[in-house]
Amino acid sequence: MFTRSSKWNVKSIILIALIGIIMGVVYTYGFNWAYNLVKMALLPTGFAPVTDTVFAGLWLMAAPLAMYFVPTSGSGTIGETLAAVVEMAIGGQWGPITVISGIVQGATNEIGFFPKKERYQKFSWTSVLIGAFFAGLGSFVPTYFLYGWNKYSMTLQITMFITNMISALVFDGVLVKLITNLFDKALKPKII
């Protein structure tokens, strides 16, 4: 029987490390590749910057997956940070800023669950979607200033904000919750 332990122990640390490693590889060799291809295709249209926000939710998925498997505070931040470290270490295109983004995105994702232990353990739709909403903000706000998105037209800025939030809710919220529901059905985990 599979157990979801809310205690920090060797199993929890190994599980979060595996999630971080796997997601870091997926980010680099899956999502980054697709992102670059789409952005390149959109360059002539003037909408290439929207690619940044349409794909944003994909890079937020390590945190809620870590919180599902290790339902305790800090697990999402650590899982997302490890994924960012792996992404950077194996050639992610954003370099060290990836790690800072991972810390912010993981911490903001935990807002939907923190501070109650029961929220981590229940892993409800509400907690996941609130976490995804705040993670969307946690990914948008720093990059808005870092990459000078304020210089874009107001229409493009609004479009980017809306697509960023939709992406976060769809990928980091709905998709992750559907994936964890499949784990619930297949593994019938016990929470300790």
> Where do the domains of the chain lie?
3-191
Please tell me the predicted confidence (pLDDT) of residue 90.
96
Rounded Cα distance between 62 and 73, Å, is: 14
Tell me the pLDDT of the chain averaged across its residues: 95
Q: What is the pLDDT of residue 171?
A: 98
pLDDT tens-digit map of 14-36: 999 999 999 999 999 999 999 99
pLDDT at 170: 98
Q: How far apart are the first and last CA of the chain?
A: 12
Residue 80: the pLDDT is 98
Q: Exposed (0-12), middle (13-18) or buried (19+): which is 47, by Cβ within 10 Å?
A: middle
Q: What is the CATH number of domain 3-191?
A: 1.10.1760
Say what the pLDDT of residue 1 is.
63
pLDDT class of 139 with cuts at 50, 70, 90? very high
What span, in angstroms and rounded, lies between the C-alpha atoms of 66 and 12?
Answer: 9
pLDDT tens digits for range 43-94 = 999 889 999 999 999 999 999 999 999 999 999 999 999 999 999 999 989 9
